[in-house]
Structure 1
Amino acid sequence: MADPTSYRPRTGEIPTNPGVYRFRDEHKRVIYVGKAKNLRSRLTSYFASPATLQPKTRTMVHTAASVEWTVVGSELEAIQLEYTWIKEFSPRFNIMFRDDKSYPYLAVTMSEKFPRVQVMRGERRKGTKYFGPFYPAKAIRETVDTLLRVFPVRTCSNGVFNRAVATGRPCLLGYIDKCSAPCVGRISPEDHKALAAEFCAFMGGEAGRFISALEKKMAAAVAELDYEAAARYRDDIAALKRVFERNAVVLSEDTDADVFAMSEDELEAAVQVFHVRGGRIRGQRGWVVEKVEDQTRADFIEHLLQQVYGDGEGPDRIPRQVLLPAEPENAAELEEWLRGLRGSRMEIRVPKRGDKAALLATVQENADQALALHKSRRAGDITTRSAGLQQLQDALGLPVALLRIECYDISHVQGTNVVASMVVVEDGLPKKSDYRRFSITGDAARDDTASMYDVISRRFRNYLADQAAAKQPAPADSAGAASEVLADTTTPAPRTKFAYPPNLVVVDGGPPQVAAASRALADLGISDIYVVGLAKRLEEVWLPDDEFPVILPRSSEGLYLLQRVRDEAHRFAISYHRQKRGKSMTVSLLDEIQGLGPAKSKALLKHFGSAKRLKAAGVEDLQQVPGIGPALAVSIRSQLDAASAGDGAGGQAPAVNMTTGEILES
């Protein structure tokens, strides 16, 4: 495991041009590829204090042993080169949206003597008609099975077809009337090709014509008292309507679009896409991925489109429209790149109203549900939770069951606004009502070990105080005598917020943090609570006074439980740190602006809610705040711009980027 400072390039050596960069491990394997408008600004952010990085980013920079970059001429070239390298190297730390399968299409081989209906993937073939894409493949097979009742087109492979020709016996589908059996001459090649053309016409959107024709035939059969034929027509009509309803029209019939939506938290993101072809939803697809960096939605969507459409499966993979919940940062360059892949015009849009916006809301609901299901599936499985708790207890050699686990994490930016979090897991599930947060000041804020000692001491001093309060004797009655019923006992006081002790304390860190937590418990005379630390580099588990860590298998449910608790503590600490830092930054920022008094500063803070949103506000946005006129809005905007220019100078990556509002976070 490399120390990032050992390979950190000098700030002055990194160009400020747009470009693409690669992190390599000690074996020279590429483990991460990224691009940036300003290489210096982006790369220096990776070498900030490890506490300021996201968990997966922190792991990546400690796994890497070197970093290199390539300057390009434009952002379009950066998009193309980044995608090329991701496809070539498959870096382990890049978000990967693709699976090992391409989109399934319904194909009809009209160029053959006896056309065949089949599910096909990959490159398109000449003389074959395609419908789709459909996802999952099960849906398209159900559609084909239903349509074969009305359009009994051949579906068998060439091998099966040739054997039937040689033996003079059709396959099972021929016997159950789901194939017209051209292999044994039940239908001529011309008639079979006409039947396949009708199948294509139905899939192409002409369902109404075929349903009307069957309804007329059913009425004629009833008039002739041929009720058996009428019943067959009735069932055929029902089959076609089932397929027709399954592919209901949601947009105008000339609409070919992919509709994307995403739901995210600090650690993971769920993406859903609906494929609309000819105005009908032909398929649905989704991914749940870990987030490497604290990316904006725009950056995340840009990487999503690169990987979904850039795998070279043919221009028909890219529709005429791509509907998104947010516009990518490099939307124009990305659109130009996709047009080049498609070979014709296409557009990227963010629908705001109408049917497309309504469909986007539906896709968003699916994404929200997918992320919630992913989070709860492993955490909510009692068998998995029990296995994880038992594995953890056995690996650590603890004599007690882990009914309650508490995890602590410290968060700050370069030693300022130091805070800590305490999250609680009972029976493997988070108990958010017991979450606590701590503000750390004075000498305790000088480093992480001092902060950890302070937090553990405060938490368990409260525990001892609550325990002592619970053992106080019952109060005397109005006559001054204790209650006869409780004369020889004590009255248990209501449990307070720190009254329940954990079986295991987990700290985010290695031996120094573990030693600090153990020392705090020992100084309080507590010996029945066990302490471990989870180090981020190799996900090692450290015990107090042990020379070597405990290494849990990467696929271990016990390790997954520890990681989930640690990441939750990290998330909770970051949330509090952002809140605390945001208030102080906003107040200090407003204090520096001339012409603002306390009332108008308060109004600005209430309207925008954060320093980042205030710094991004335009003159018209500022004028929407009560008491801010045109002249004052222009003055505020110019002073914000001046402050941004001053804070961004110097070549070093600042803790707060005043130009973009991006803040290096812990």
Structure 2
Amino acid sequence: MADPSTYRPRPGQIPDSPGVYRFRDEHRRVIYVGKAKSLRQRLSSYFQDLAGLHPRTATMVTTAASVEWTVVSTEVEALQLEYTWIKEYDPRFNVKYRDDKSYPSLAVTLGEEFPRAQVMRGPRRKGVRYFGPYAHAWAIRETVDLLLRAFPVRTCSAGVFKRAAQAGRPCLLGYIDKCSAPCVGRISAADHRALAEEFCDFMAGRTGTYLRRLEEAMHTAAEELEFERAARLRDDIDALRRAMEKNAVVLPDGTDADLIAVAEDELEAAVQIFHVRGGRVRGQRGWVTDKVEDVSTPELVVHALQQLYGDERGGSEELAGSGGVPREVLVPALPEPVAPLAEWLAGRRGARVALRVPQRGDKKELLATVARNAQQSLALHKTRRASDLTTRSRALEEIAEALMLDSAPLRIECYDISHLQGEDVVGSMVVFEDGLARKSEYRRFQIKGFTGQDDVRAMHEVISRRFRRYLREKERTGEWTGSAEAGSPDGPVPAGEPGAGTEASSPGDEEGRPKRFAYPPQLVVVDGGAPQVAAARRAMDELGVDDVAVCGLAKRLEEVWLPGEEDPVILPRSSEGLYLLQRVRDEAHRFALRYQRGRRARAVRRSPLDEVPGLGETRKKALLKHFGSMKRLRAATMEQIGEVPGIGPKTAEAVAAALAAGAPPEPAVNTATGEILED
């Protein structure tokens, strides 16, 4: 590990101008490329105290052994040079998008004497017109098959074309009228090129004019009693309309736009792009990237645009398909400043590009759809990663090695605390076995008689309650290694919630097994840092539980804390063990937050303020906002209540009376059985 001070440039050596910089390791390999409006300001930020840097940035600067830079005249040049160097050096600490070359496009080889329509992948070539990319190659072939009836362009390979020309017989497509058979001279090279250009125009969205021309030709043929020709034109029109139906209109104004959305977490990000041409979705693609560097959403947008348009060349005519730079690019967030990026895009297109965040209407709704696709893509990626047995086994082994456990933690329990400004404090417990969530064993804790924003004390209580039941069951059965609290500590979980179900049977039932929740964990994970870990360890020590490991995962920097240790354990950002711990922690947080919000919603419905005549939602919110909580509102005098804007003396008196009397709480009901539960 290198000391950044050994290669830090001398004061005044770095120019205060736009440029691109490269960090190199001891073997002179480029490990990071970045751009800056001011090289001096940006590079100086890397050489501050390592404790003040993001862990991934700190890892990069300690891996590097030197830094160099190139001065450019404008930020637009810096943007282009950064992209060129990233492509050339493939630095390990830059954002890397996977699957960026795997999406197929429909390509028409206009550079050949007899243009061919085909599925094509990889980098774009000169003289080829592209449409797409599409999610699947079969979608392209299905569309082309429908269009060949009206546009019988060549689709065969060079070898098939050459053999047909030598034999003087066309292939099967030529016999069934899905190819104009230029190989045997049925159509001239000029006429076939005109047919291919009409095909391209139709794919580019100029459909109305061609359909109207075919309809006029059909009516003319019918009037001239050429019914066979009219029927053939009718079938062509039907085929074209079926092909058009596969791409529904999403923007009624015939917009050409690319919509980009990002879904991200601490370690990974998914990018989805919809290509809209002529108001129709002509293609879709997506990437998943590891967030090797500490990047924000606007920075991810910049990287996605570089990846998407960095290799484009030429004007709008060559790029008229959905792969080129369109008139509009709609994104979820704009970088600051946005002008250099917009200018760079305009240079790629050869004309002005509107780069913006949609605020209303159809475009905002469509971008929301793209965002949902990005979220589903990220979730699917994580599901595939979590479902792999080899990956899960490696994750458990990495956790055991990092925490110095005797064996892999096959059962992990994670705890989190949730509250709203100290009110309605609740806890959650989630269970992962063999790296997979066991939602049937999730549990919730209602912490009664506890207020205040003291997560440490609340964590101590939750851990104490869980392991107190563990010891109680252990004493009762004797033969089992331990038992956890069966069912929710606050009663049965309502149907539809994770963890819903009946109470487990007592240990030693007819099957000779303990309760389903009777197994102790090998590892307890708490959401938080050193204070929460110390509270959890103290709770177990007070109960004499010394055979369960404890750690905490701090959300801000993804640090793993162990009891009694001054420094955290830093797992590599690519570690499967860190990924598993993060999933466990995030699931506990989600479960606690859902429980807390549900309780808060029920509390609002049972609010004594509902009994005050004429007190609407606006003034209720004003009262709660003024006092901060129902507890402070109950303690307020009538005069203090009257000081709230919109609350007169009579209303203040009614509010004080309602709070003094109190509203009877509604009974809690098990939605599965209809049974009234005890509070």
Whether contact under 8 Å (1:114, 1:193) holds in the other structure is yes
SS at match of 1:329: coil
TM-score where L is the length of structure 2: 0.61
User: Which of 420, 426, 429 pairs up with 2:436?
Assistant: 429
**Which residue of structure 2 aligns with residue 343 of structure 1?**
350
Q: Aligned pair count?
A: 535
Structure-2 separation of matches of 1:398 and 1:42: 41
SS at match of 1:160: helix
**Which residue of structure 1 aligns with residue 22 of structure 2?**
22
Correspondence 1:609-628 to 2 at 5 A? none
Kindly provide the amino acid, as one letter, of the partner of residue 465 in structure 1. R
SS at match of 1:501: coil
Kindly provide the amino acid, as one letter, of the partner of residue 523 in structure 2. L
**Which residue of structure 2 aligns with residue 63 of structure 1?**
63
Does 1:504 pair with 2:520? no
Structure-2 separation of matches of 1:247 and 1:76: 35
Correspondence 1:370-389 to 2 at 5 A? 370-379=377-386, 381=387
Task: Give the Å deviation of 1:84.
Answer: 3.5
**Which residue of structure 2 aligns with residue 654 of structure 1?**
none
CA offsets 1:518-555 (integer angstroms, 9 cap, x no match)? 999789754543579999xxx999999xxxxxxx9999
Kindly provide the amino acid, as one letter, of the partner of residue 96 in structure 2. M
Whether contact under 8 Å (1:470, 1:493) holds in the other structure is no
Kindly provide the amino acid, as one letter, of the partner of residue 343 in structure 1. G
RCO (CA 8 Å, sep 6+): is it higher in 1 or 2? 1
Kindly provide the amino acid, as one letter, of the partner of residue 348 in structure 1. L
Residue segments in structure 2 that go unaligned for 5+ positions in a row: 417-427, 446-454, 477-482, 491-516, 564-570, 593-621, 629-643, 647-679
Does 1:368 pair with 2:360? no
Task: Give the Å deviation of 1:565.
Answer: 1.0
Whether contact under 8 Å (2:31, 2:93) holds in the other structure is yes
Whether contact under 8 Å (2:250, 2:279) holds in the other structure is yes
Task: Give the Å deviation of 1:199.
Answer: 2.9
Kindly provide the amino acid, as one letter, of the partner of residue 467 in structure 1. Y
Task: Give the Å deviation of 1:324.
Answer: 1.7
Whether contact under 8 Å (1:37, 1:75) holds in the other structure is yes
Structure-2 separation of matches of 1:458 and 1:204: 65
**Which residue of structure 2 aligns with residue 594 of structure 1?**
none
Does 1:359 pair with 2:366? yes
Whether contact under 8 Å (1:603, 1:626) holds in the other structure is no
Task: Give the Å deviation of 1:569.
Answer: 4.3
Whether contact under 8 Å (2:256, 2:327) holds in the other structure is yes
Task: Give the Å deviation of 1:360.
Answer: 2.1
**Which residue of structure 1 aligns with residue 669 of structure 2?**
none
Does 1:93 pair with 2:93? yes
Kindly provide the amino acid, as one letter, of the partner of residue 378 in structure 2. L
SS at match of 1:263: strand
Structure-2 separation of matches of 1:242 and 1:14: 61
Kindly provide the amino acid, as one letter, of the partner of residue 504 in structure 1. L
Structure-1 separation of matches of 2:9 and 2:148: 65
Structure-1 separation of matches of 2:8 and 2:278: 52
**Which residue of structure 2 aligns with residue 442 of structure 1?**
none
User: Which of 465, 470, 481 pairs up with 2:468?
Assistant: 465
Distance 1:355 1:518, change over 3 A: closer
**Which residue of structure 2 aligns with residue 237 of structure 1?**
237
Whether contact under 8 Å (2:410, 2:522) holds in the other structure is yes
CA offsets 1:70-117 (integer angstroms, 9 cap, x no match)? 566654454344334323321111112375538765444556554433
Correspondence 1:61-460 to 2 at 5 A? 61-69=61-69, 75-97=75-97, 99=99, 101=101, 106-109=106-109, 113-119=113-119, 122-123=123-124, 125=126, 131=131, 136-189=136-189, 191-208=191-208, 211=211, 235-251=235-251, 255-315=255-315, 316=319, 317-379=324-386, 381=387, 402-406=409-413, 425-430=432-437
Whether contact under 8 Å (1:108, 1:130) holds in the other structure is yes
User: Share of identical aligned residues, percent?
Assistant: 58
Distance 1:88 1:423, change over 3 A: farther
Kindly provide the amino acid, as one letter, of the partner of residue 156 in structure 1. C
Distance 1:397 1:169, change over 3 A: farther
Structure-1 separation of matches of 2:45 and 2:346: 34
Does 1:529 pair with 2:548? yes
SS at match of 2:329: strand
SS at match of 1:97: strand
Task: Give the Å deviation of 1:503.
Answer: 1.7
Distance 1:408 1:361, change over 3 A: closer
Kindly provide the amino acid, as one letter, of the partner of residue 63 in structure 1. T
Task: Give the Å deviation of 1:259.
Answer: 1.5
Distance 1:139 1:56, change over 3 A: farther
SS at match of 2:178: coil
Kindly provide the amino acid, as one letter, of the partner of residue 274 in structure 1. F
Task: Give the Å deviation of 1:143.
Answer: 1.8
Distance 1:57 1:375, change over 3 A: farther
Structure-2 separation of matches of 1:377 and 1:530: 28
Residue segments in structure 1 that go unaligned for 5+ positions in a row: 410-420, 437-450, 474-489, 545-551, 577-599, 607-624, 628-666
Distance 1:59 1:564, change over 3 A: farther
Structure-2 separation of matches of 1:124 and 1:271: 25
Whether contact under 8 Å (1:253, 1:279) holds in the other structure is yes
Structure-2 separation of matches of 1:5 and 1:469: 57
Whether contact under 8 Å (1:256, 1:321) holds in the other structure is yes
Whether contact under 8 Å (2:23, 2:31) holds in the other structure is yes
